Structure 1
């Protein structure tokens, strides 16, 4: 059954891609980043626009989507999550957090049949739990039955440990179950990227693999550092003369200056995975950070999904995305619920190829 969807805070389109594979026709995707929208337009066929979520009304979204009130089956999206990050320091309140409350306005103005909201698991921390509670209570007042869970992407075929909080709102009385685990064992870094050739030594993009190039800023000092780090290790393996002064005696953020392991899922791919100084983002064997294409595979994007912008922009688009495989799994569960199918009896398996070819038509 084909359902209509609007993808808010869409970024490069990981959620749109997954939903399209789950049977949705995405009528509109929007984000406040031009490079994100340009990337979305390049890879996906739905309408994508640069919009400011703080000032765009539900009526405007409906007009752009070519839909009327009540015709949206699913309002989906992940409001900016940096304000909830446990790694963030400073004041508890962050203006970006208030974008979560835009859902309340849009739900009332558009009256979608269902909604999906994704965010970092830390939204349940002191920085965000009051906003979550406000969304849940307001959604219930509008007649939604709200389901909340923290899911790990590695349970759904994504070769990465990535825990995210999800809220699903459905008409009261609708039967819903979260997607069943779709893999017998977690996919590993080796499963995802071992077959990729080494990127060109001169830093140029691989001639046949998009976004596959080396980090140009990796200094000789950092190359020397990464040589000491084994697979799965971090900065604790660095000799004292190569450690930063701020790291000596500090047991936080041990993954920095780290390598991935072939035999394990990746750590969470963040918006700064473009540098191994930011986390466990070194290649398992080669003395370099992983490429954007390797990061995209670890997020379950297909190889023909091309990311625009420079390396830093590409890493942000990839790291902030909802993994398409996880988006597809959740989308199928919502589709089953809206279609009146008992998903608990025979859950539909995730069919999307981890990095299969073919641009999605949404």
Structure 2
């Protein structure tokens, strides 16, 4: 099964689908650093580091057809940027040009006629424009007009083997028959939920600001003196409630929320949702769970909690690599969806 990955980022979906046995043929992303990472890990794929709005659909399909025969099934991945729809984005606007990127996929779908389509975004995407004409409503109408059957659901990544609590909206569409929601693999009555320990428990210790000699991405930023003191007081799974009064920010003394900020992870639970600032101790519960290691998780540890392989190559700075990791679809979840799609194809074909 051939994969065309639009808005690919650094390649979380492509990596998961590759592990499911799919062939990665085309990638597309506007971000130059994410593009460099993608190309380093998927050298076999034809890559477009371009704005989809400037890309000619007929030219892309022509190049695709020269590399692939028409009788092989195709899956189009279109995980457009989620920031315009995220509840965390307090400055989102209907004028944000990224809101219409999903519209751009229509002309490629018309030309490619993919057997399957995979969309992933923030929960709530499907509700934002339900009462008026918007990008998602237009997309659903387009799928119906083109004869696609589709399912929509909220996926919890920990129920698909990812050691992280992360809710995402998913749409899976098919031209050849109705799909079911992919079966969960972990949780009640299934395999145990994966934990932070399962994925980063064997990493060698490092200090804040240190780079491990065996892996340039097993590294994390330095901490200032105040934050170093804070994390020394923080228990495994703990937060600012563990601190003496003088270390608590004034704004937090009368505010009981946002307890993840400056928190440590727990060894035997899934990680919280990794964000684009997962390298930063002060931006979430990204403190290392080992109370002898006074630091945030390393870039490599963050990538493992997103289920990237240990040898996945990242390009760019710590900030850039962390943004790529935080924006990615967890590889293991994409793999499980890929396996479900392949089973569906085998059954109906």
TM-score (norm 2): 0.90
- For each residue in 1:199-240, what CA deviation from the matched residue of structure 2 results, as whole angstroms up to 9, or x when unmatched? 2x4834312224001213x21111111122222223343333
Matches within 5 A, 1:149-168: 149-168=153-172
Deviation, 1:72, is: 6.1
Higher helix share: 2
* Helix, strand or coil at the partner of 1:246: helix
- Cα offset for 1:162? 1.0
User: Would you say the 8 A contact 1:31–1:37 is kept in 2?
Assistant: yes
Among candidates 170, 185, 197, match of residue 174 of structure 2: 170
Distance 1:128 1:258, change over 3 A: farther
Structure 2: gaps spanning 5 or more residues: none
Structure 1, residues 14-71: CA drift from partner, whole Å, max 9, x if none?
Answer: 1111111222211111111121111112122322230112222322332343458896
- What SS does structure 2 have at the residue aligned with 1:15? helix
**3-state SS of paired residue (1:116):** strand
Q: Is structure 2 residue 220 aligned with structure 1 residue 214?
A: yes
1:321 matched to 2:328? The reply is yes
Q: Which residue of 2 aligns with 1:75?
A: 76
CA shift digits 1:174-205 (9 cap, x unpaired): 14222222232111001111110012x48343
The answer to whether the 8 A contact 2:173-2:179 is kept is no
Mapped partners of 1:249, 1:281: distance in 2: 23
Distance 1:140 1:202, change over 3 A: closer
Q: Structure 1 CA distance, aligned partners of 2:122 and 2:89?
A: 12
The alignment partner of 1:222 has SS state of helix
> Residues 1-362 of structure 1: matches in 2 within 5 Å?
3-45=1-43, 46-65=45-64, 66=66, 73-93=74-94, 94-126=96-128, 130-171=134-175, 174-183=177-186, 184-199=191-206, 201=207, 203-216=209-222, 218-285=223-290, 286-340=293-347
What is the rounded CA distance, in whole Å, between the counterparts of 2:13 and 2:313 in structure 1? 15
- The 2-side partners of 1:246 and 1:83 are apart by 28
Equivalent position SS for 1:164: strand
Supply the distance in 1 between the matched residues of 2:58 and 2:241 (Cα, whole angstroms).
Answer: 54
2:272 match: secondary structure: coil
Q: Deviations over 1:152-174 (max 9, x none)?
A: 111111111111111111115x1
* Structure 1 unaligned spans of 5+: 343-362
- 1:284 Cα deviation from its structure 2 partner: 0.5
Q: Secondary structure at the match of 2:252?
A: coil
Do 1:156 and 1:181's aligned partners in 2 also have CA atoms closer than 8 Å?
yes
2:4 alignment partner, SS class: strand
Distance in 1 between residues matched to 2:130 and 2:105, nearest whole Å: 14
* Alignment size in residue pairs: 337
The alignment's TM-score, normalised by the length of structure 1, stands at: 0.87
How far apart, in 1, do the equivalents of 2:124 and 2:294 lie? 33
The 3-state SS of whatever aligns with 2:271 is coil
Describe the SS at the equivalent of 2:58.
Answer: helix
Is the Cα–Cα contact under 8 Å of residues 210 and 303 in structure 1 kept in the other structure?
Answer: no
Separation in 1 of the partners of 2:128 and 2:243?
35
Distance in 2 of aligned mates of 1:57 and 1:75: 16
**Does the 8 A contact of 2:162 with 2:307 survive in 1?**
yes
* Cα RMSD for the two superposed structures: 2.2
